[in-house]
Amino acid sequence: MSSKRTLIFLLVESVFVFGLDAFGEPRPKYIPPTYLNINISDEPEAPLSNHLQKCFDFIDKARQANGRVLVHCVAGVSRSGAVVVGYSMKEQGLSYERALAFVRKSRSSVCPNEGFKAQLENFDFQRQN
């Protein structure tokens, strides 16, 4: 995410970032004007579910405005992956496993940590009841 040229080439105008200036993670060199930063560690006990609605609202608003959103964390595996999986669950009505498989078609390394997985499974349960 550090390349302004790359983001402009990809027409990315909205960025969702985990851990900007937190947890010793590097600050990107360029951040588009529309961004959301959530300071949450990639630990199983981290309260991802407390932030899901805010994440989903940001993604919805950004997609309505320009259609392209980059969801970013240091490795692009657990935190950002969990939010994209959760968003796919919400938008497409998928179970956790089906949403994970869907997201992995685009990024095979996505693997939310066990705590995030449990929180997303609980999110799925609450949606259905």
Q: Is 111 considered catalytic here?
A: no
Taking alpha carbons only, the member of 65, 58, 78 closest to residue 15 is 58
Question: Is there a contact between 12 and 72 (Cβ–Cβ < 8 Å)?
Answer: no
The values of phi and psi at residue 20, to 5°, are: -60, 120
Name the catalytic one among 1, 73, 82, 89.
73
Helices (runs of H) and strands (runs of E) counted in the chain: 5, 3
10-22 as b/e: b if 16+ CB within 10 A? eebbbbbbbbbee
The values of phi and psi at residue 31, to 5°, are: -130, 125
Catalytic residue annotation: 73
